[in-house]
Structure 1
Amino acid sequence: MTGYLNILLRLAIWFLLTANFTVANIIIGVSIALLLPHNHQSREKLKDWLRALWQGLKAIPTAYIEALQIIFQPHTQEEIVMERVPARRTPGLIFLDIFIITFTPKTIVVKYHEDGWYEVHRIQRRKA
């Protein structure tokens, strides 16, 4: 089941990169998604995928709220924090984590450390 989610993730990335939904591009995208190497001994669980997808859906209204906050309230403080990567993350789930963090306007992942940390740049309102 998670193998299909990996293929769908690859297709979604392909369509985000190309922004082209012609028949030829769909065939190319499906071909690339199937030909890219993948791990047959997948460690990921459906529960992890569903949790990541739910966080992605929650990030959409959060992004709008944060964008309005940045527009109407000054955010002058910056910080770089280290966030721990959740346990048992495959490259596909790590990509989704980074995408969700970067999707919101106040945060961006600066670097992924192989030892299990995200380096995240945040902006916030000035503390009184």
Structure 2
Amino acid sequence: MISYLDLLLKLTIWFLLTSDFSLANIIIGVTICLLLPRKLTSPGKLKDWLRALVEVLIAIPQAYVEAIEIMLFPHKKEGVKMERVKPQRTPGLIFLDIFIITFTPKTIVLKYHEAGWYEVHRIKRRKQS
């Protein structure tokens, strides 16, 4: 059975894409969410989902601060760094991790490696060691 949290994540993405809360759109969204293929994994723990949602809420003001920094100060250095995926992550939580990293203006996930790594591109104000 599909996890309720994964279903909620897929429905949220559906409503963000369609911007329509009519009964017909809700029925279509639920149908599509149930028909989408999914991996058979253990369902995510509620604690992990709540922690990820808190990280999303923290990323919103952080994105504004970074956007202002980019406008006011030049960021001429850049680099690519490999970051390890947190253990025991379901595909929905991995998606949220990638969303959080990419949401902030100074970072973007270039690639997710199945071995458990994110390839993250960052811009910096100056060379940091």
Q: TM-score, normalised by structure 2?
A: 0.89
Q: Pick which of 27-36 and 98-107 moved more.
A: 27-36
Contact 1:43 1:88 in 2 (8 A): no
1:76 and 1:121 map into 2 onto residues whose CA distance is 13
What letter is aligned with 2:71?
I
Q: Counterpart of 2:57? A: 57
2:4 and 2:58 map into 1 onto residues whose CA distance is 23
Shift of residue 125 of structure 1?
0.2
What letter is aligned with 1:67?
A
1:23 aligns with 2:23: yes
Length, aligned pairs only: 127
Q: Counterpart of 1:4? A: 4
Shift of residue 22 of structure 1?
2.9
1:40 and 1:81 map into 2 onto residues whose CA distance is 30
- Unaligned runs of at least 5 residues, structure 2: none
Percent identical residues? 68
1:125 and 1:40 map into 2 onto residues whose CA distance is 43
What letter is aligned with 1:32?
I
Aligned-residue Cα RMSD (Å) equals: 1.9
What letter is aligned with 1:116?
G
2:16 and 2:108 map into 1 onto residues whose CA distance is 19
Shift of residue 126 of structure 1?
1.9
- Unaligned runs of at least 5 residues, structure 1: none
Q: Counterpart of 2:90? A: 90
Q: TM-score, normalised by structure 1?
A: 0.90
- 3-state DSSP class of the match of 1:5? helix
